[in-house]
Amino acid sequence: MLASKRRGESVSSVGTAMADESVEQIGYCVLKYLVENPNAQDTLEGIVEWWLLDRLTMSNVNKVREALAHLVAAHLVLERKAKESRTYYKINSHKLKEISERLQSVSKRK
């Protein structure tokens, strides 16, 4: 279980509040991929098809979108909106240490 309850809210260990545990799990996987590949950058489609390597997430595009929104809100992942309406996601390299610490604490708890 990645989330811990605080004042009636689900608070994620890897991003801001994520209500759904599977969304948290996806957020964890995205961050893990980015720590292993700090130069990686892609759109939602690429993240679903190639980063998460999980058949389940292929059918949960909306959950991946939600997880990315949380990670962006927590400033752990940066988004760039292009003029043609696409959005690219990459790691916030200034938060690399914080991300690594969060990932470690989650994996210890697992």
Partner 1 sequence: MSKSHAIESDRVLLLNLGLSEKVCATLAEILLPYFRLKTIDFYSGSGDHVAHSDYDLSQLISRHRPAMIFLASAAHLITQTRELLELMRKDFSAIPAMVLTEGDDPDEMLAWLKLGAADFLTLPLRAIDVLPRVWRLKQHDDLEDPLLGTRAAKSGLNELVGESQKFLKEIEKIPTIAKCDASVLISGETGTGKELCARAIHYLSSRAGQPFIPVNCGAIPSDLVENELFGHESGAFTGAKTTRPGLTQEADGGTLFLDEIDCLPLLAQVKLLRFLQEKEFRSLGSTKISRANVRVIAATNADCEDAVKTGKLRRDLYYRLNVIPLALPSLRERGEDVLLLARHFLVKHATELNKQIAGFSPSAIRKLYFYEWPGNVRELEHIIMRAVVLSDDAVIRADDITLLEHIDPTQSESFQASKDRIVADFEKTYIRSLLLKSQGNISEAARLARKNRRAFWELIRKHHISVKSLRASASWSADQISRKDGIVLRRKSMTK
Residues that bind partner 1 (CB under 8 A): 36-37, 39-43, 45-46, 49-50, 52-55, 58-62, 80, 82-86, 88, 90
Closer of 86 and 109 to partner 1 (Cβ): 86
| Distance of closest approach, residue 21 Cβ to partner 1, in angstroms | 16
Sequence-distant (6+) residues with CB within 8 A of 92 are 75, 76, 77, 78, 99
Cα–Cα distance measured from residue 93 to residue 77, given in angstroms and rounded to the nearest whole number: 9
Eight-class DSSP state of 47: I
| Distance of closest approach, residue 36 Cβ to partner 1, in angstroms | 8
Eight-class DSSP state of 73: H
| Distance of closest approach, residue 12 Cβ to partner 1, in angstroms | 22
